[in-house]
Amino acid sequence: MLYILLLGVARGCGWQHIGVYVNLGAFYLCGIPVAASLAFLAKMRGKGLWIGVQVGAFVQCILLSTITSCIDWEQQVYITISCLVLNIDECPC
């Protein structure tokens, strides 16, 4: 369930769009093709579908971990504090 925590980090930083793109890429581009090919072509049925979902979750976790590790946290804190002090409604954070 690490991907849930990492998705919360992206949402908390105000980057909901990143979470959407990661979810679309992980599940629609990786998980569904793996699930369909294993379930129907390899005749694994439900096991293939489940493996496809797990592949999508794994790819999502890897992508969110990469994004989270590349964040400049000092700059993120500076932007957030600046928006709070200046009382900016449409803060980029």
Say how far apart CA 2 and CA 67 lie, in whole Å.
Answer: 14
Query: Does residue 11 fall inside a structural domain?
Result: no
Judge if pTM exceeds 0.75. yes
Query: Does residue 78 fall inside a structural domain?
Result: yes
pLDDT digit string (tens) for 57-72?
Answer: 999 999 999 999 998 8
Residue 59, number of CB atoms within 10 A of its CB: 19
Number of domains in the chain: 1
Is 90 exceeded by the pLDDT of residue 9? no
Task: Find the domain containing 42 and state its range.
Answer: 18-86
Which of 9, 12, 6 has the alpha carbon at shortest distance from 61?
A: 6
Sign of torsion over alpha carbons 41, 42, 46, 51: negative
Which of 36, 21, 32 has the alpha carbon at shortest distance from 56?
A: 32
Query: Does residue 5 fall inside a structural domain?
Result: no
pLDDT digit string (tens) for 70-88?
Answer: 988 888 878 777 777 777 6
Q: 19, 67 in Cβ contact below 8 A? A: no
